Amino acid sequence: MRNCDETRQWLDAYLDNELDPVNTLEIEQHLQTCPACSQAYEELRALGAALSTVPRYPTPAALRERIHSALLGEASAEAQTIPFAPAARPSWRWVTALAARRIRFLLGFFIFIFRILGWEFGRSAIGISTLLFYRQL
Amino acid sequence: MSHSNRLNRFEQLILPHLDAAYNLARWLTGHDQDAQDVVQEASLRAFRAFDGFYGENGRAWLLTIVRNTAYNLLQKNKSLRQTTPFDEELHGNAGASECATPLSLLRGAEDEQNLRAAVEALPDEFREALVLRHQDGLSYREIALIAGVPTGTVMSRLARARARLKDFLAKGNREEEAS
């Protein structure tokens, strides 16, 4: 069973429904048997209820409109800056252009190898180059 | 995320809390124009930082930015508006009223203007906790998140704020009865 001091200490949290079930139950039990704490809680509850009825300050309609147009301006300013932003991944057109250049270079290279060093050496050169090519891509 | 998508998402998740934002800014700054400036600046700041928002609690997120913006403005305008520095001990609930009867309290509390004035007279930290709790129905955890303090501090601020209000209203009633 709680005493009055302990109960008063947690009265605000009890009012705000912020206590766990065990503490809530203990406060409830104390309030049922203690008129002084019960009265203190009643005052607190009345104050809380009165505070909740104080009207909020209404948002001016002009502010809402100003924010809306400021956001539109901000969004379109950002949209305009996007073409200059660095691309996260290279585009496929760029990748194929690079691949085509490499393939042309490699073809020339293999013809050179075949002519100078013959078939056996050329075949292993193709294997190694293909491997390197895919790893780079 | 495309830019119009981003704006749409912002308008869906954040802008519904504009009323709470203006209300908090209005209570904190004490002026309509200051509150409008704060909310507009905070909304733009929120939009720029929107990529860092993961959609847990749009209201608490926006209110955190509004609160910080409002305190920045208050710091700047300190000479214009006399604010007393907050001191947990000084502004504690020393001398909490023992003489407020439920009847006198209710009569005072029912007077909305009285109560509004009493809340306005509270230190900023007390006032924001009361507004967030009673007008927006936020939990201690959410208020703690917004004010950047532990939940225990929120609890003690609310308790002290209410004790001071009870005191203030009881005093007002006693003066009324005396005159």
State the pLDDT at residue A134: 66
**pLDDT, tens digit (0-9, with 9 covering 90-100), for B85-104:** 555 544 444 444 444 444 45
**pLDDT, tens digit (0-9, with 9 covering 90-100), for B117-167:** 999 999 999 999 999 999 999 999 999 999 999 999 999 999 999 999 998
State the pLDDT at residue B97: 42
The answer, for B160 touching chain A at a CB cutoff of 8 Å, is no
Mind telling me how many Å the CA of A129 is from chain B's nearest CA? Answer: 39
- 3-state SS string for B84-112: CCCCCCCCCCCCCCCCCCHHHHHHHHHCH
Nearest by CB to residue A12, choosing from B109, B116, B159, is B159
Q: How many CB pairs under 8 A join A and B?
A: 109
Structure tokens at B101: 């009867």
Rounded CA gap, A11 and B65, in Å? 31
- Please count the CA atoms within 13 angstroms of the CA of A23 that sit on its side-chain side: 14
**pLDDT, tens digit (0-9, with 9 covering 90-100), for B3-61:** 778 899 999 999 999 999 999 999 999 999 999 999 999 999 999 999 989 878 999 99
The answer, for B3 touching chain A at a CB cutoff of 8 Å, is yes
How far from B58 is each of A11, A24, B44, B63, CA to CA, in Å?
A: 30, 30, 15, 8
State the pLDDT at residue B17: 97
CB–CB contact B44 A74 (8 Å): yes
State the pLDDT at residue B152: 96
CB–CB contact B7 A54 (8 Å): no
State the pLDDT at residue B144: 97
Parse chain A into domains and list their residue ranges: 4-136
| pTM of the shown model | 0.72
More confident position, A113 or B162: B162
B chain contacts of residue A18, beta-carbon cutoff 8 Å:
139-140, 155
Q: What is the mean pLDDT of residues A127-133?
A: 71
CB–CB contact A51 B115 (8 Å): yes
The answer, for B96 touching chain A at a CB cutoff of 8 Å, is no
Query: Of A41-50, B19-28, B112-121, where does mean pLDDT reach its minimum?
Result: B112-121
State the pLDDT at residue A90: 57
CA-wise closest residue to B136 among B58, B44, B56, B50 = B58
Question: Are B88 and B139 a contacting pair, CB within 8 Å?
Answer: no
Q: What is the mean pLDDT of residues B70-86?
A: 72
The answer, for B159 touching chain A at a CB cutoff of 8 Å, is yes
Q: State the ipTM, two decimals.
A: 0.79
CB–CB contact A43 B102 (8 Å): yes
